[in-house]
Amino acid sequence: MNVRSIRFRLGAWYAGLLALLLILFGVFVYVTLERVLERNLQETLTKEAQTIGDALLSKIRQTGDAYVIDEIEEHFAPRTNSHFLRVTREDGSVLYQSGHPHDESFDPAAVAASRAGDPVAWHEENAPGTGKLFVYSMTYTDSIGTRYAIQAGASNKPIRTVLNQLLVSLAVALPLIIGVAIGGGILLMRNALKPLRDISDAAAKITSRNLNERLPKVHTGDDIEQLTASLNRMMSRLEESFQHVQRFSADVAHEVRTPLAILQAELEALLDRPELNTESRNAVSSALEEAGRLSLIAEQLLEMTRLEAGEMLSTASRIDLADVTRGTVDQMRLLSDDKQIRMTYEGEEEVPVLGDPIRLRQIVVNLIDNAIKYTRPGGTISVSSGTAHGNGFLEISDSGVGIPQEAIPHVFERFYRVDGARSRQLGGTGLGLAIVKSICAAFGGTVTVQSVPGTGTTFRVELPLESNAPANSGFTQKYPS
């Protein structure tokens, strides 16, 4: 679980807050209940003591001691109720004292006696075992002035039992509630975050190729609507600057090409002049060749710009890489034969990839041309194509001079030459491998190289099989207007 995710942090805060609130609530309930129960007990005891005075002791002269004792026993049943009752005469002799309670929560004899004339008082005593004994003491004075001390007491054991039960209930219920709340919270959050995920999914689908698309508008009037609008505004700005770059490269192309066209045409016209001597003719021809090379470089650079802008993908269709490779090898065999290099081809019957026939051909041509250039007469070039791991592949191995280890990371860079002077002599623009890489990337593939200096080099191109290629049917080419 990702502890930094918004879902986890929100959930943790939410659960923590809930637990704190529930605990506070539990403490409040516990304390309140304890106070209510104790007050009730005290009221009961007060009433009992007052009743003994008002109802029984007031008539003790007519009824006699025994009647009063009987009445107390019968009326209050202190033993059954686990209550303590004691009536003491003015002289300190005990008129009545309740017996051992049935739950043995206290020892009646051990309870401190009060004397007649003492003011009304509450005191607590430690009962044997656990718990406390609440004792209410008062003085009753009858009509002729005889005073009795009355004590009523009760153990807090029943209160404790109730409170303990409450604690147990809380201890069971609290985690349960928190657990349910966290579960519900996760579900809730998943739903709440769903619009965000939708936005993210939609945004992920937008690349340089379909920058004109926008996220679907929502009208929720909240943060989500704002986020969608902000993202859409950002994409508009991106699209604008992207178009700016494309316009810029088109303008540059125009500015370079027009002078090149003039240069080329002027030189051609010059070459047609009959009065030109051989020396001048050669010079003009040489200049024309260089102008041609410059044109080729400009053209290839522009083509790479367009490949990187993703324009080519609009023409992508199902192409048999094996067929393209086989055909190209056949057509280039004359070149390898010419240099006494043995070129072989083997491959699967059909390797359907997503591409454009001209661009795929360009890959094969550039790599084979490269291999022929750097392989000495008598060497071999083996070309193969097939399918592996859901990709179509094309491999071109030569027994050529190889590439030094330190140069390998740079071979696909524009204008990079392993051995400047030598390779320029062999012709080419220094863009061949860079173009291969751009084409591969444009169709969602890769190109890699392995080389042992002096032994040979292997280039491997991998392109997604047509069935595995990312769907691009939704993509429509946008024409500048």
80 binds other proteins (CB under 8 A): no
The three-state secondary structure class of 416 is coil
Q: Which amino acid is at 88?
A: T
Q: Report the run of H or E that residue 202 belongs to, with start and end.
A: helix 157-204
Stretch that binds other proteins, among 33-41, 49-57, 246-254, 414-422 (CB under 8 A): 246-254
160 vs 361, which CB is nearer to other proteins?
A: 361
133 vs 267, which CB is nearer to other proteins?
A: 267
- The CB-based long-range contact list for 300-303 (8 Å cut-off, 24+ gap) reads 300/429, 300/431, 300/435, 301/414, 301/431, 302/249, 302/253, 303/435, 303/438
Binder of other proteins out of 150, 284, 316, 440 (CB under 8 A): 284
366 binds other proteins (CB under 8 A): yes
Stretch that binds other proteins, among 60-68, 227-235, 260-268, 466-474 (CB under 8 A): 260-268
d(CA 93, CA 287): 142
Only one residue has tokens 């769903």, namely: 194
231 binds other proteins (CB under 8 A): no
d(CA 276, CA 284): 10
Smallest distance, other proteins to C-beta of residue 234, A: 25
Closest of 166, 153, 127 to residue 32, by C-alpha = 166
206 vs 252, which CB is nearer to other proteins?
A: 252
Which residues inside 369-388 make contact with other proteins, applying CB under 8 A? 369, 373
d(CA 65, CA 56): 10
Q: Which amino acid is at 422?
A: R
- The 8-class DSSP code of residue 402 comes to -
Stretch that binds other proteins, among 97-105, 307-315, 386-394, 463-471 (CB under 8 A): 307-315
Stretch that binds other proteins, among 109-117, 118-126, 213-221, 368-376 (CB under 8 A): 368-376
308 binds other proteins (CB under 8 A): no
192 vs 265, which CB is nearer to other proteins?
A: 265
Q: Are 270 and 283 in contact (CB under 8 A)?
A: no
Q: b vs e for 392-427, b when ≥16 Cβ sit within 10 Å of the residue's Cβ?
A: bbbbbbbbbbbbeeebbeebbebebbbeeeebeeee
48 vs 398, which CB is nearer to other proteins?
A: 398
Binder of other proteins out of 79, 147, 417, 478 (CB under 8 A): 478
Smallest distance, other proteins to C-beta of residue 285, A: 4
**Which chain residues interact with other proteins by CB under 8 A?**
246, 250, 253-258, 260-269, 271, 281-282, 284-289, 291-292, 295-296, 302, 306, 311, 314-315, 328, 331-332, 334-335, 338, 357-362, 364-366, 368-369, 373, 426-428, 432, 435, 477-480
